[in-house]
Amino acid sequence: MKNKRLQSSLAAVLAVLLTSCGSAGKPGNPGDKSTDPAKQYPRTGSVERLDPALDDIIAPGERPEIIAEGFEWSEGPLWLPDQHMLIFSDIPNNAIYSWSEKDSLKLYLKPSGYTGTVPRGGETGSNGLLLDGQGRLVLCQHGDHRMARMEAPLDDPAPDFVTLADSWQGKRLNSPNDAVYSSDGVLYFTDPAYGLELRYRDPKRELDFTGVFRYDPGGKLTLLTDALSAPNGIGLSPDESLLYVANSGGGVQSFWMVYELTEDGSLSNGRVFVDAGEAAKIDRGSPDGLEVRSDGITFATGPGGVWIITPEGKHLGTIRTGEATSNCTLDAEGKYLYMTADNYLMRIRLQ
């Protein structure tokens, strides 16, 4: 009995030591990357400078920081200004995590995109995240094929969702991917097939196209275009006269589109904003999520990392993360650009 008590005590001590050391940072075990209370983070990658104007956006010598890791596929970063923290999706794990300087990494919400009881494969979780005009969390839910709103408050999250849009002319949406709100409450979102179990070849797929949609505050859903093979990231120009949409079809289907928004809310004069077809042959990643800054500069994830693009469509340079990079967002002050890149959460300081 004495030996058993001794063995039990030793096992308990060992467990505490292992927990303290942890395995944070290994895939499947998400962890904050701070190495001490001063919040020092390892740096990675580089910044490719194609135009001197980039120096006014990212200071020479700046590199991305890895602030958390261990996710299966991180996506949809969103800054919550009142909470002073970032939240983001881990799609295959059907979860949302939060990160802040104060509290580091925490599980924020699970489930986040699939609320069914029958187990299913594929990318089940939430993807793009955004706030509506009342500060409520709106989610692009892959597993549930819908745009949904969380009814719980941001500081006490719970999987309590209400459907905004889940079908078009009686057929279920594919898997809403990314979205943006206009100042008057109009929701624009993309609907590729990445969230289906077999993606574009899934026999359960009901729509035979991938669309860009408009959802009005009154509840009306309008198809804006079905011409893109893989509509993905989406954003509005600062004056809301232009809509940017990434197409992540790969190869020659790798580009960003820009459309003019008419008075009745339809699209006109659609054209390629920036073509990434050649870069996609060389670098990892495709046009994905994007963030349009108040001065019109677009931060767009694509081949090699995050492309920095002027309102005129000039590619100033690329934040090279070293990983396939899915999405990005700014904090409230525009001090940092946060990036989700495969199993990492990164950030880079801006001017």
Beta-strand pair 161-165/146-150: antiparallel
What is the model's pTM?
A: 0.90
pLDDT tens-digit series, residues 193-214: 999 999 999 999 999 999 999 9
pLDDT tens-digit series, residues 284-309: 999 999 999 999 999 999 999 999 99
pLDDT tens-digit series, residues 75-121: 999 999 999 999 999 999 999 999 999 999 999 999 999 999 999 99
pLDDT value for 251: 86
Q: Which residues of the chain have pLDDT under 70?
A: 1-29, 34-39
pLDDT value for 26: 42
pLDDT value for 65: 98
- Domain annotation for the chain: domains and CATH numbers: 70-306 (2.120.10.30)
